[in-house]
Amino acid sequence: MKSIWQDIKLVIQNPENGLWRLILANVFVFVGVSLSHVFLSLAGKEAWYNQLLEQIALSSQPKIVLYKPWTFFTYFFAHFEIFHLVFNMLFLYWFGSIIYTFIGQKRLIQLYFLGGLAGAIVYILLLNSFSYFVMKGPIYLNGASASVFAIVVGAATLQPNYKVHLLIFGEVAIKYVAAFYILWSMIETTGTNAGGNIAHLGGALLGFLYAYSYQRKQLRRPAPEEKIYSYSMTVQKKIQDFVEQNEPEEIEEDELNAILDKISTSGYESLSKHEKKRLFKASQKND
């Protein structure tokens, strides 16, 4: 047990493990809720357990939510069934890894939280806008599905032809995976889990808008920065020419190589302001 706890501490303490931190947060909440259920049931206090769930799940009733605003956040870390948790965490890991690879950890975490909030807002709005749902009375929403849907659709928007291996179907482009789950959630909006599927669609919409906005910003970046970020052969040639000229105050070849290695490994955005300035100066040497 000690070694397991040490492994968990390493994951938590590593600033680059944002994806695993999200997964562990969901697992810890599930374990805490499950153990509470066991102990409170044995003590004959199941009513207390139900009250606990109402403190972390999101009600469809605006009046209740106003008194429990924290549930806008707690619900997308709370799972009450093991298969619900496992399914969401698998998809979070698979598609979260894609988001992490292409746009970084910071945006992955942003997408998780924003997707959960978007799912909550759409869930409350729609369940109080149609008499079909109002007549069914108040319900509670829990689970990371809206956040996961945002990440799935965000990944499919950024890299639609990126392929994943599915057990039965083999390699499938993620745009088809995202399309299938969106369609399924739309069909199930009047099913037994109507609230959950409506939240899925809210998360999916946020994921698309987030990824689309990111792509638009990338296209609008200034030309010199785009030229450096793309690692074009022209820029690399200018940098090499600069190194060979041996002018005063030129950066050393080792320093340039280190900067280029850093770009190759972590992307242009990982450079410090000083490194960006040095690299830009090198690229403009012969302009």
**Domain ranges within the chain, ordered by starting residue:** 2-218, 223-283
Residue 75 has pLDDT above 70, yes or no: yes
pLDDT of 274: 74
pLDDT of 232: 54
Among 147, 144, 89, 137, CA closest to 115: 147
The SS3 call for residue 173 is strand
Side-chain half-sphere exposure of 244, counting CA atoms within 13 A: 7
Which residue is listed with tokens 């990111």? 214
Side-chain half-sphere exposure of 78, counting CA atoms within 13 A: 17
How would residue 140 be classed by pLDDT, with cut points 50, 70 and 90? Answer: very high
Residue pLDDT, tens place only, 1-35: 666 777 776 766 676 788 999 999 999 999 999 99
Higher pLDDT, 266 or 53: 53
Residue 42 has pLDDT above 70, yes or no: yes
For the chain, what is the mean pLDDT?
A: 85
pLDDT of 261: 74
pLDDT above 70 covers a percentage of the chain that reads: 80
Higher pLDDT, 63 or 168: 63
Residue 228 has pLDDT above 60, yes or no: no
pLDDT of 257: 75
pTM of this structure = 0.74
Q: What is the mean pLDDT of residues 128-146?
A: 87
Residue 183 has pLDDT above 70, yes or no: yes
Which residue is listed with tokens 């969901």? 26
Q: What is the mean pLDDT of residues 177-196?
A: 93
* DSSP H/E element including 58: strand 58-59
pLDDT of 283: 63
Q: Which two tokens stand for residue 46?
A: 């199941």
How would residue 181 be classed by pLDDT, with cut points 50, 70 and 90? Answer: very high
Topology given in CATH for the domain delimited by 2-218: Rhomboid-like fold (1.20.1540)
Residue 222 has pLDDT above 80, yes or no: no
* DSSP H/E element including 256: helix 253-266
pLDDT of 106: 94
pLDDT of 286: 43
The SS3 call for residue 135 is coil
> Residue 172: phi, psi to the nearest 5?
-135, 135
* DSSP H/E element including 163: strand 163-166
Residue 115 has pLDDT above 80, yes or no: yes
> Residue 232: phi, psi to the nearest 5?
-60, 155
- Pairing verdict, β 58-59 and 140-141: antiparallel
Measured distance CA(47)–CA(106) in Å, rounded = 40
Task: List the single range of 103-117, 220-234, 260-274 with lowest mean pLDDT.
Answer: 220-234
pLDDT of 278: 72
Residue pLDDT, tens place only, 192-209: 899 999 999 999 999 999
